[in-house]
Amino acid sequence: MLLKNVTYLNSEMKFEKGEIAINEGSIHLNTVESNDSEVFDCSEYLVIPGLINAHFHSYSSIAKGLMKEMKIQDWCNDSEQGRLQNHLFEYLDTNLLDEEFVWIGQQSYVDMIKNGVTFVSDSDPGNDPALLAQAINKLGIRGMVDTYARFPELLSRKDGNVSYGAHLLEEEDITEETLLECVKNKKNYDSIFMTHCMENGWRKDLVYSSFNKSSVELYKEYGLLDHKTILFHGVHMSENDMELAADAESSVVHCPISNLWSGAGQANVKEMLRRKVNVCLGTDYAHTDMWEVMRMAYYLLKLNTDVSEFSAEAIFKMATVNGACAYQLHNEIGQIKEGYKADLVFIKKDAALQPLVQKGNFTNYLHNLLTNMKSEFIQHVMVDGKWVMKDKEILNVDEELVRRRYLEIVERIFA
């Protein structure tokens, strides 16, 4: 395929015009030749790399609003709200059929594609992580699924465009014994290891009360902190924790929307960035709109800071190349670059984005995209050079059937 008249976001986070040849699913910028005769005119679009949702719980779409105004440690308490939460979790654990689990995942992934997401890291494997891999592959996108206890059988395996990751300890599970078990697993498996990390004060205090140090300090002490360690949230990380993460080349997934509505707090991402921590972005829980996450991350960086310090470019890096680095895919995805996978998002040059100006050293393209973008401006999405959404139509599944099955499951759970 040959993409003509393309205005695309290059690896320097600047838009440039040119042509892109796609051969065998990869991007080629230094030639206008393609192995087939298909030519696609991109003059009406801005083309960006697919977005990377670095932390998500697929089941959570069915829990929207059930956790409102309640601390995480109080979930499933004896209030009416807590009993509803407990009912949901019991249904998911004991009554949900495998095919229903796939439908729930697909409903979330359809929403993500419409928001330009082409990679998702899912931390809700259910009873069988391979089911989520099936759902992701069916949509035609790529991802990683956290295996939790199922890691021994899955870490060496790759299903289509989906890999599997291992789970570090949740802070409420940290003991000397479990830490030593993690050390053994880390030695035996060359994998991504991920976990929720100091998401809220309660989890931070649990570790401090037992060890008089943070979970990050413990991970460092036990040799569990390295370039394949991904820490979700990091809201209550100290500057020392950030320094340890930066030195180890570990990654932090910033989830600004869920951090705020859950009462977890506001992560000090400004200091993380200043200390060169690799920060990426996630929608986390009951949320699939990456653009809202990106905007919130941007606006929070502007609070009580010199207005010139953090730019839209920094946010787009978090949503693309930084996520790719976290999941060890930085030589494959996250950038429109020679030889990289053709995971591309085609955005209409809508009037709401105008004026788009690039003169000399000045450009407002990314700023206008970030602050004014709506999902309806996304016209097409491709992964590996294959359309997964064309003219706003999801191609690999029947979207209406997915929606209908999802609503049937909601009705069964909450009737």
pLDDT category of residue 35 using cuts at 50, 70 and 90: low
Residues 6+ apart with CB under 8 A from 378: 114, 115, 116, 345, 346, 347, 348, 389, 392
User: Cα-flanking dihedrals φ and ψ of residue 346, to 5°?
Assistant: -110, 115
pLDDT category of residue 34 using cuts at 50, 70 and 90: low
What proportion of the chain, given as a percentage, has pLDDT over 70?
Answer: 98
Q: Which domains does the chain have, with CATH numbers?
A: 2-49+338-394 (2.30.40.10), 51-328 (3.20.20.140)
Bin 368: left if φ > 0, else alpha if -120 < ψ < 50, else beta.
alpha
CA atoms of 389 and 163, how far apart (whole Å): 22
| Mean pLDDT within 319-345 | 98
pLDDT at 126 over 90: no
What proportion of the chain, given as a percentage, has pLDDT over 90?
Answer: 93
Which DSSP category does 145 fall into? E
pLDDT for 77 equals 96
Within 13 Å and on the Cβ side, how many CA atoms surround 256?
A: 22
SS3 readout for 310-371:
CCHHHHHHHHCHHHHHHCCCCCCCCCCCCCCECCEEEEECCHHHCCCCEECCEECHHHHHHH
pLDDT at 30 over 80: no
Q: Does this model's pTM top 0.95?
A: yes
Dihedral sign, Cα of residue 180, residue 185, residue 188, residue 189: negative
| Mean pLDDT within 41-47 | 97
Residues 6+ apart with CB under 8 A from 234: 197, 198, 199, 241, 242, 245, 252, 253, 254, 267, 272
pLDDT tens per residue, range 193-233: 999 999 999 999 999 999 999 999 999 999 999 999 999 99
The answer to whether the CB of 265 falls within 8 A of the CB of 201 is yes
| Pair type for strands 162-167 and 142-146 | parallel
pLDDT category of residue 36 using cuts at 50, 70 and 90: low
Mean pLDDT of the chain: 95
- List the structure tokens of 205: 């205090």
